[in-house]
Structure 1
């Protein structure tokens, strides 16, 4: 009876551990995909300039302008430029939103932090496959997942604080001043940060289950019973060792 309970507990812990590792891996894949999509897309901040009938999307390294033209219906023209293009920067002196197209240092910091998060998450994903057999791999997975979660959190914090500077948040027009709003790229980055954090928490739980599984196996293997009870034999009573006079 005791052995059956211990075996059932071992199976439950093992299944829970495998499920947590798989869930953590899925979250890491989602986080990496969201991070890459957030970096590659330009809509971290968006603003519609009614005076020019154009929507401007400002990203971490690329900016796009979507212009509407009412010629035989509504047509949309999209023009994208890189923040690090020297030619564009030289012509940006006459642009009303020139500050938005500069490649600021905080842009570079956000890119580096997201790159660190992606590399750490990929490392954690690789070690998570080995965590099923090698216990030390689970610890490495936790450390790298923590680095990914912290890096993405710092990246989002840097962007959030920097994007609220007056020279970044507000875009001057000819007669109006427009306020930028967060675009879909920002929410992709925010979603990846949340996925990184949950992946780290779940990987820690999986590691705890791994240690519990090993402890349960050790307790089961070290458990012993008297041979007489295992063989169904009754113990032989022993008599007195001395005779009273």
Structure 2
């Protein structure tokens, strides 16, 4: 009974951590704030995401006190063909347009696509892991699929975080060139959201290993008990039969000896 309770607790904890990880990584993926830079000469905050970018105009005072009102974000997709044409035209007029250097950061680069590929793959595998974990109490063999799918999802998520961190710290991606100044981009909260989701999956994977061990060992113990019970049932009639034959032979020998004595 204690082993069953432990199995269920570990399984529930693993699934909860996986769900939390899915929520955090998805929130990070959908946020544009992977890289944030405040370009003072443009009086705007630029947020460069994985698949879309947003611009927020500089905050302005709405009262005598230190209260500021944030203007809404104006966003565009990196994979939008019309936006790509605008960026290309801006880059062609780099000598006349001072914002051309910043437009380079709105393009859909290969490392963006690689990160999105690993994130989408990790989300899909995490969902498969949850489905396998739900089936584990009824079919203990699915515990292996539970662990393997979560392990691959964790690796994909780690690769996505690693690729972004290395790419974001490259000089051409880290600094933004304005008209008169150069500004350094900082890593935004979206990356840290995704990183926290990855850490949740790491914790879930540790619990998953323990869960798989409990299910496998519990299944082996049940199988051993069943085999022992079957063996006892099979050997018991044989033992009784042997004892009956021995007793019958003893009776025959007794009658034979008694008859010999009577004849003599």
TM-score range normalised by the length of the shorter chain = 0.7 to 0.9
> Are residue 150 (structure 1) and residue 155 (structure 2) matched?
yes
Q: Which residue of 2 aligns with 1:118?
A: 123
Unpaired segments of 5 or more residues in structure 1?
Answer: 1-10, 228-240
Give the structure with the larger helix fraction.
2
Count of aligned pairs between the two proteins: 219
Q: Of 77, 82, 86, which aligns to 1:87?
A: 82
Unpaired segments of 5 or more residues in structure 2?
Answer: 91-96, 237-249, 251-264
Q: Which residue of 1 aligns with 2:94?
A: none
Query: Bigger CA drift: 145-154 or 72-81?
Result: 72-81
Distance 2:62 2:168 in 1: 38
> Are residue 129 (structure 1) and residue 134 (structure 2) matched?
yes
Q: Which residue of 2 aligns with 1:35?
A: 25
> Are residue 44 (structure 1) and residue 45 (structure 2) matched?
no
Distance 2:86 2:110 in 1: 20
User: Which has the larger Rg?
Assistant: 2
| TM-score, normalization by structure 1 | 0.82
Q: Does the residue aligned with 1:134 lie in a helix, a strand or coil? A: coil
Maintained 8 Å contact 1:41/1:59: yes
- Alignment map for 1:47-126 (pairs within 5 Å): 47-68=37-58, 70=60, 74-75=68-69, 76-92=71-87, 93=90, 94=97, 95=99, 96-126=101-131
Distance 1:91 1:163 in 2: 24
User: How far does residue 71 in structure 1 lie from its aligned partner after superposition?
Assistant: 7.5
Structure 1 runs, 4 residues or longer, greater than 3 Å off:
69-75, 218-221
Maintained 8 Å contact 2:141/2:216: no
Distance 1:23 1:71 in 2: 47
User: How far does residue 72 in structure 1 lie from its aligned partner after superposition?
Assistant: 5.5
Distance 1:215 1:134 in 2: 13
